[in-house]
Amino acid sequence: MNYAKYIDHTLLAMNATKDQITKLCEEAKQYHFYSVCVNSGYVPLVASLLKGSDVKVCSVVGFPLGAMLTSAKAFETEMTVKAGAQEIDMVINVGWLKSNDWDAVKQDIEAVFNACGAVPLKVILETCLLTKDEIAKVCEICKQIGVAFVKTSTGFSVSGATVEDVKLMRDTVGNEMGVKASGGIRDRQTAEKMVQAGASRLGASAGIAIVSGNVTSTSDY
């Protein structure tokens, strides 16, 4: 299986340097990963480095907490798309979800979805903080809105993707949407399990280890 096209080659650390981002892009072009995923401040650099390649530019919004104003998320999305992002990964407001304010959760996602325009939106649930019922419910909301993907994790919380959660997400959204597993995917064995469970995209800093079958990374992102 060609795992390279499953992978969003990712570096979201707050201390990531321009040299590290440049290396990330070079690796992505070499291995033909699906995209490079970075914080929005690096989108212009990544867009310039990947121009003319088969690798897409992905960026995160409302990352990693998801707890900012909806209007701020929507504005960040609009500006990030203008800067060259071809995919957006947003974080839901977990606090609103835990408060059972599902209308606010839905409106938050819808605002970012609308700001994306034609750019595909992935919605990060932070599954490690949610119950199974909450995961299923927010997946249903995402399906109603029409987003491109639901995604497990930021990689910055207490844990990352699990096979059980990926399977639940796939079972809930069906075959019409994508499911992205992220957080803690450091080797091919784990990647295989996630794909078998229903993941159609993988977020990882260990993309090279996954495609080569070697264990070379111990970080989530």
Residues 204 and 9: beta-carbon distance below 8 Å: yes
Q: Return all residues near 9 (Cβ < 8 A) that are at least 6 apart.
A: 24, 27, 28, 31, 33, 35, 36, 37, 55, 204, 205, 207
Please confirm, yes or no, whether 122 is among the known catalytic residues.
Answer: no
Our CA dihedral for 102, 104, 105, 111, rounded to 10 degrees, sits at 140
Please confirm, yes or no, whether 98 is among the known catalytic residues.
Answer: no
**Catalytic residue, candidates 8, 56, 151, 220:** 151
Report which DSSP code applies to 55: P
**Catalytic residue, candidates 89, 108, 165, 220:** 89
Please confirm, yes or no, whether 73 is among the known catalytic residues.
Answer: no
How many CA atoms are closer than 13 Å to the CA of 135, on its beta-carbon side? 23
**Catalytic residue, candidates 56, 108, 180, 220:** 180
Active-site residue list: 89, 151, 180
